[in-house]
Amino acid sequence: MKKALLLVLAPLLLAGCLEVEQNPPYREGRYDGKTDDLPQQLRFSGDRLAWNAAIDNRNRHQNEYARMRP
């Protein structure tokens, strides 16, 4: 009985000890991690209108009614 109890409690006790700190790094009160670039900054050099035009164009080609032939 003691052996079974030990086998059950040992993993539970060890699970709490292995938790890793997950707080983001702060320096002088500000976030000091990697900046998250917006999609239009990565592929369209910050041109938001070109980004929106590309999304609209892609959405138009995904319309099943426009792709069907009567």
| C-alpha–C-alpha distance, residues 70 and 67, integer Å | 10
Torsions phi, psi of 26, nearest 5?
-125, 140
Percent pLDDT > 70 in the chain is 89
Judged against a pLDDT cut of 90, whether residue 53 lies above it is answered with yes
Residue with tokens 């700190």, as numbered in its chain: 21
pLDDT digits (tens, 9 = 90+) for 19-50: 777 887 888 888 887 777 777 777 888 788 98
Structure tokens belonging to residue 63? 């319309």
User: What is the pLDDT at residue 70?
Assistant: 63
Q: Map residue 63 onto helix, strand or coil.
A: coil
pLDDT at 48: 86
Residue 8 pLDDT greater than 90, yes or no: no
CA angle 31, 36, 38 (to 5 degrees): 145
